Amino acid sequence: MTIKHATHHIGLLALALSGVIHAGESAPLDSALETVLVTGNYTPLAAQDFTASASVLDATQLRQLNKRQLGDVLRTVPGVLVEEQGGSGGLTAVSLRGGEANFTQILLDGIPLNDPTNARGGSYDVGNISAVSIERIEVVRGPQSAVYGSDALAGVINLISANPREPRATTLRAELGESGYRDINLASGVQVGELGIALDLASREDDGRVPGSTRDTASANLRLSWQLAPQHRLSGQLRHLEGERSSYPEQSGGPLYAASDALDDSDYRDTTAGLAWEAQLAPRWRSRLAADYFDHREDYQSPGVAPYLAVPPNGSSTDFDRSQLSWVNTLQLAPDYQLNLGADYRDESGESTGYLDLGFPLPTDYTLSRQTRGLFADVHARLAPRLLLQGSARHDRPDSFDSETTLRLGARYQLLPTLDLLANWGEGFKLPSFFALGHGLVGNPDLQPETARGWDAGLQWQPVDGLQVTATAFGNRYRNLVDFDAEAFTNVNRREVQTRGGEWQLAWQATTGLSLQAHATYTDIDVIGEDARLLGRPEWQAGAWLNWAFLPRWHTGLDYQWNSAVPASSMHTGATVVSELAGRQRLDWRLGWQAAPWLELALALDNLLDDDYQSAVGFAAPGRSARLAATLSFGGA
């Protein structure tokens, strides 16, 4: 696959999209998306009825941040850690509260994107998704298996596209930057009677700032919402993405230290699709039946890490697909009592054809599949005007593994008219990845699921309109972590890890044109029974961003992000060497001008102070760079 013909591919795909549709976790039949949280629940909930620790970035905030990459956006959320493997072409992994990256479930409009055939245990590379194509991000922290089943050990990040029920102007956004950077997005939304249609086309090239690191992607995303009758709605989505990337191999020492300039290369393709039907079957009974599908295909080639003793040249061609069916019934037992009951089914299959080059090709092929059946119940009860309780219970029956029952409990209590107390406890589990189970050399079919128990407690204070401060303490304990045993040369369950810490966030809308966001996170990680440190995780992270509309058609902003020193490893010397990367700090600046009702211009300077730091051993972060974007609007919303 080559991205040079991306525009042609997108055009052909757009013509074919009308035959397939899906819905993610849509809002209630009579509610707007911005007023509810759709993540972490079986049915959308108003913010005041939500007990879990959550953060939301809406469309206005995402435009104000104006970030080059989605990972840079997620850095502004407390509790979120973003690990980069050097430049746009390297892997960008996201984790929550000190957990592994594959403990975080990444959703796109409610559809999970995690791929268990990859060598990272199923973590998702968020570098595949352009921040410009996302309208809203919801982050729910803590174990969420009582809602999502396997994979949500540490939490969930839901990336939400524009709502097809809300007509919008057709916009063409073109952004150009140094070193060959280009990002073009076409978005449109129309309303035809009771049918709402939203379409987004995107093409992105990002290379040159970090030697050897490139990524090109092209995508098309169609969403539909059809109000069949006052009590019935059909909604859907089809999205297709193609991409190619290159970078120095992970652990190679990067452009600074690698013994060879040979690069990893990857061509990949993602497709998500599905369909959802919502019905108000009775005044107090609402039902939702949904099906979705995800397919990921990737061809990957790596030269290995010189001198090739620990990581020889290798490659693989993988194909993973997941189909899901869910049925949720929401019963409004009384004005302040809601019960959700339902069942779901998940079918996963993965196939990999690969090799390890030891002077002769050693095959690493595997083919695996599994099905999981789930039953669940969830209740929200406001026992008193100031007290809200939430409880969820879920029973999963996966093939070839013991059944898993997970619980989640939450409470929200109004201590004062301006002060709420929130507390949560939950359990999680994660089935072993297909790679860990089936890889021809290191796979172990006897692996058991990884598990988690976690809690958090916090205060949410809103002393005046426009100002909110949140402080949260948390703790998680992960057991049976999958690890590679060098002596047995296979994957095993052996590690137990405890994470604990605190998060703080301030959101202040000082005036209509002036806003401030600030956050800080402390995470302490203890590997139980071992004198070891988990890599890539700083103890401290903090940041702040300011947006100021200083004239009617002008606005500017600054975003500062910092983290403390990070332990990291590299194998460029021929052996694994653990070192400590110096703390990272970065300041970005942006300026926007509404030149005309139909034209907006935006200038961004990334790494304004040209700070020198390494995102991984031997991978120097890009220096100061500029981007200029123009957005043209056609017609009214």
Indicate if the pLDDT at residue 142 is higher than 60: yes
What whole-number distance in Å separates Cα of residue 584 and Cα of residue 614? 8
Indicate if the pLDDT at residue 575 is higher than 70: yes
Q: Residue 33 — pLDDT band, cuts 50, 70, 90? A: very low
Which amino acid makes up residue 167? P
Terminal Cα distance for the chain, rounded? 36
Indicate if the pLDDT at residue 396 is higher than 60: yes
Q: Residue 636 — pLDDT band, cuts 50, 70, 90? A: low
Indicate if the pLDDT at residue 13 is higher than 50: no
Residue 73 — φ and ψ, nearest 5°?
-65, -45
Indicate if the pLDDT at residue 404 is higher than 90: yes
Q: What's the average model confidence in pLDDT over 574-594?
A: 92
Indicate if the pLDDT at residue 629 is higher than 50: yes
pLDDT at 217: 95
Percent with pLDDT over 70 in the chain: 94
Indicate if the pLDDT at residue 367 is higher than 50: yes
Indicate if the pLDDT at residue 23 is higher than 80: no
What whole-number distance in Å separates Cα of residue 429 and Cα of residue 481? 11
Which amino acid makes up residue 608? L
pTM equals 0.93
Q: Which residue has the tokens 């995402």?
A: 62
More confident residue, 46 or 107: 107
Indicate if the pLDDT at residue 440 is higher than 80: yes
**CATH assignment, 3-634:** 2.40.170.20
More confident residue, 30 or 44: 44
pLDDT at 46: 86
pLDDT at 54: 93
pLDDT at 18: 33
Indicate if the pLDDT at residue 22 is higher than 60: no
User: What are the angstrom distances between the C-alpha of 7 and each of 10, 203, 216, 269?
Assistant: 5, 7, 12, 16
**For the CA atoms of 116, 117, 119, 124, what is the dihedral angle to 10 degrees?**
-50
Query: No. of H helices and E strands in the chain?
Result: 6, 36
pLDDT at 463: 95
- The chain-wide mean pLDDT, for the chain, equals 90
**CB neighbour list of residue 215: distance below 8 Å, 6 or more residues apart:** 88, 89, 127, 204, 205, 206, 207, 243, 244, 245, 246
Indicate if the pLDDT at residue 26 is higher than 70: no
Q: What's the average model confidence in pLDDT over 257-281?
A: 94
pLDDT at 24: 34
Percent with pLDDT over 90 in the chain: 75
Q: What's the average model confidence in pLDDT over 131-151?
A: 94
